[in-house]
Amino acid sequence: MTFGDKIIALRKQLKWSQDDLAKKIGTSAPIVGRYEREEITPSIDVAAKIADALEVSLDYLAGDSDKASFDKQTLKLIDEIEELEPSIKDKLLFLANAIIRDAKTAKAYSN
């Protein structure tokens, strides 16, 4: 998925028009359309504003990955986990891994 495709998909997921996104990043709808069609490439600053407005990381928006994007809430949670004491972080990661394992097991048996 290209940069423009990601903008379109995320914008539509939020049910925003090009004008809605344009207002949030301080530009016009025709410019947003040109970004989406990849006729022009935004500056790093504008791309960061687009990512911020769409609540994804700039890395996701500009990267080659088609994997799920991280929303702001997930990124904040990751930052907060990184600031924890190592022993608390280890317990939290152990618990998260157990929940993920159980969810995958339940999904495998439901098929």
pLDDT in tens, 5-23: 999 999 999 999 999 999 9
pLDDT at 69 over 70: no
Look up residue 57 and give its two tokens: 């990381």
The three-state DSSP-derived secondary structure of the chain is: CCHHHHHHHHHHHCCCCHHHHHHHHCCCHHHHHHHHCCCCCCCHHHHHHHHHHHCCCHHHHHCCCCCCCCCHHHHHHHHHHHCCCHHHHHHHHHHHHHHHHHHHHHHHHHC
Q: How many domains does the chain have?
A: 2
Band of residue 67 on the pLDDT scale cut at 50, 70, 90? low
Band of residue 78 on the pLDDT scale cut at 50, 70, 90? confident
Provide the CATH number for the domain around residue 50.
1.10.260.40
| Whether residue 10 sits in one domain with residue 50 | yes
| Whether residue 46 sits in one domain with residue 23 | yes
Q: pTM higher than 0.75 for the full model?
A: no
| Whether residue 51 sits in one domain with residue 13 | yes
pLDDT in tens, 21-64: 999 999 999 999 999 999 999 999 999 999 999 988 888 888 86
| Whether residue 9 sits in one domain with residue 49 | yes
> 17 vs 68, which has greater pLDDT?
17
| Whether residue 9 sits in one domain with residue 44 | yes
For 42, the domain range is 3-62
